[in-house]
């Protein structure tokens, strides 16, 4: 179940950098997990933090994805998905906001970890104009 979505804009417009020039800024991310699962030239993900970590069955958690827009973009939804045993659950939270190149934003979404035991793969994505702007995935086990 997804609770709320909070948006926090950080910083002002700056020069657009290539992905190699962008510093990885994880000081705001305390428990960075996972890996990029769909790099685009639209939103560069610094990292994703899941708190608390590791997951506990039925526990509320906050998933924070920090990054920078490399070009102007409309974000319509934050999409959170989980996969176990071939079954995918997906929920979207509307954002409907325009962002400018160079803008640093942390997207946060509240979740509740599942109670069914197993190995899960979850992802957080930004969606705009029917396309995914970025994707980050991580695995965890519920005992």
Domain boundaries, the chain: 5-142
Q: Which long-range contacts (CB under 8 A, 24 or more apart) does 31-37 make?
A: 33/138, 33/140, 34/136, 34/137, 34/138, 34/139, 35/136, 35/137, 35/138, 36/134, 36/135, 36/136, 37/123, 37/135, 37/136, 37/137
Cα end-to-end span (Å), the chain: 19
* Per-residue pLDDT tens digits for 62-103: 999 999 999 999 999 999 999 999 999 999 999 999 999 999
What dotted CATH number matches 5-142? Answer: 2.60.40.770
Whole-prediction pTM: 0.76
Better-scored residue on pLDDT, 128 or 3: 128
- Checking if the pLDDT of 20 tops 60, the result is no
What confidence score (pLDDT) does residue 139 get? Answer: 94
Q: pLDDT digit string (tens) for 30-70?
A: 456 789 998 889 999 999 999 999 999 999 999 999 999 99
């Amino acid at each position: 179940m997804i609770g709320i979505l909070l948006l926090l804009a950080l910083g002002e417009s700056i020069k657009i950098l290539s992905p190699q020039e962008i510093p990885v800024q994880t000081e705001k991310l305390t428990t960075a997990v996972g890996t990029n699962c769909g790099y685009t030239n639209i939103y560069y993900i610094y990292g994703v933090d899941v708190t608390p970590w590791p997951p506990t069955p039925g526990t509320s958690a906050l998933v924070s994805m920090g990054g920078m827009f490399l070009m102007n973009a409309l974000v319509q939804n934050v999409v959170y998905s989980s996969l176990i045993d071939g079954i995918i659950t997906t929920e979207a939270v509307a954002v409907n906001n325009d962002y400018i190149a160079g803008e640093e934003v942390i997207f946060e979404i509240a979740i509740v970890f599942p109670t069914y035991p197993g190995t899960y793969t979850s992802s957080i994505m930004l969606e705009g104009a029917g396309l995914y702007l970025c994707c980050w995935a991580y695995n965890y086990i519920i005992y």
